[in-house]
Every structure is written in structure tokens, then in C-alpha cells.
Amino acid sequence: MIKRVYMTAGVVLAAVIALSGCGAEKSGKAKSTPQSAATAKSGGAVGSPSADSGANTGESGGTQPTDRSTPTASPFVTATRPLKDGTAVLTHCADSDDPYTTVEVRNPNARQGVFGVKISYKDAHGFTMSESYDEVTVSAKSKAPVRVAAAGAGPVDAISLCAVNPRATAVR
């Protein structure tokens, strides 16, 4: 009984390989199509009407898988370098007169970029009351201000110190 199962599996495997064109070349291109798990389990042959809905190409040999275009890399496309991180400098800490924190972000790159800025708000005891994260678009080799509302940090009067991460992380 076990020999019969192995023999049947071997015949089905040979038929699948032969019908898929694996290893054979036609007009300089080897043809191969992916086989679904259902086809592999049922023992159906690739290229048969139940396993592949590919059109008949008119060649003697029944149905053949259709050519599917595959993306190719163009030799003329140049990869863009990842953006370098920018710098962030605190220019104004939120207070009761102006409840916004202002940060100046510099872009060292030769193209526009989006940079993330992290600000921490601390009280008189050095306890971090809140942190905020904002993104800003900065032109190439330029700088841009970011104004962040400190309302989420708690009472603005309690803010004693604004700390800005000096690295403005390049997002995109």
C-alpha cells in the first residue's frame, strides 16, 4: 500500500514538473507559474483547466501559462540617499504671556524633508510634566520655526523648563 502511495506521488510530481516547463526553455525564456496549495494537494496538473485559468496559446501541447510581466530595475534610476537628521534649537519656552513653545529646525540636506521634534516640559522640581512630538516640513538647506501649544502639558504657569531634543529626526 505504501509503495502505491509513493509511486502515485512520484508520477504526479513528474507530471507537474513536465507540464510546468520547469527546466525547459522556449524561445530563450523559461516559463513557470506559481502553483496554489489546493492544486498541489489535489494532485492536479499545472496548466490544466481546473488548476490554471491561463489562455490557450494555440501551441500543440494544450494550455500554457500566460507570460506575466515582472518588474525589473532600470539602470537609469538612481537611489536617493536617506535624509540626515536635522537640528532643533529652543527659541521660546511657553509661559503665561505666550503659551506656545517655539523651536527652530534646521535641514542640512540638499532636498526638502520632514523632521520630528520632541519637547519635554518640566516643573520647578525637574519633574517631566509632559512631552510632545511634532513634525515640520523644512526646505533644503534651510530652517523653519515650529510653534507647539503647551496646553497639554498642564498649567502653563507650572512650566519651569522646556527641554528640546537637539536632534530633529528625519521622518521622510
User: Span 7-33, mean pLDDT?
Assistant: 56
User: Span 106-132, mean pLDDT?
Assistant: 95
Check residues 76 and 106 and name the one with the higher pLDDT: 106
CATH C-level class of 86-170:
mainly beta
pLDDT tens digits for 55-102? 444 445 556 666 666 666 656 666 788 999 999 999 999 998 999 999
Give the pTM: 0.54
Check residues 4 and 161 and name the one with the higher pLDDT: 161
Q: For position 69, what pLDDT does the model report?
A: 64
Cβ–Cβ < 8 Å for 140, 111: yes
pLDDT tens digits for 123-143? 999 999 999 999 999 999 999
Contacts of 103 (CB under 8 A, 6+ apart): 88, 89, 90, 91, 117, 119, 145, 146, 148, 164
Q: Put residue 57 in one of left, alpha, beta given phi > 0 → left and psi -120 to 50 → alpha.
A: alpha
Domain boundaries, the chain: 1-67, 86-170
CA atoms of 132 and 118, how far apart (whole Å): 6
